[in-house]
Structure 1
Amino acid sequence: MNALDAMELAKAALILVLTIAGPMLIASLIVGVAIGLFQALTQIQETTLTFVPKLLVIGCVMLLSLPMIGSAMSNFTAQLSARIVSG
């Protein structure tokens, strides 16, 4: 494996990580901003208020995106094993 192959593999791995974690991070960000806005408007300063909604939303997003995550990981594994076999 030369440096170019290593760079391509690292790029593919980073894209895979973004594909897997991206939807959950974006959902968490949106819920956090919405709850922060709600707290600012109502002047409720409870620090634990954000945990339960974020946990529920991340769980739902994870369940909805599991087929996409499985497909992405399967494709990456197939590409990686093809590279290993080829050389």
Structure 2
Amino acid sequence: MGGQLDTVLDGVTGAHVPATAAHTGPGGDPYLVRALRELLADPVRLPRLGAAGRRRALGTYTWDRVAARVHEVYESALHQPTPVPEAAR
């Protein structure tokens, strides 16, 4: 799912499973089932993942950082050459 590969660090703040896991029928996706079983089998790991995720979110996704990143993207877009349509050439 979009953005989650950047947000969730596999094995550090959560677990990655292939995108197909969200689109399966009865019985679920084997990758998702395996990931959930592994997480549930290690109750000590769950709070660690949650704490790491919280630290990452609080340190990475502050308003100042997000605003700065949006500003960078807009600045970059402003300095890109404007494509000229074929019909205008």
Sort the TM-score into its range (normalised by shorter chain): 0.3 to 0.5
Q: Higher helix fraction: Structure 1 or Structure 2? A: 1
| Bigger relative CO (Cα 8 Å, ≥ 6 apart) | 1
Which protein has the larger Cα radius of gyration, Structure 1 or Structure 2? 2
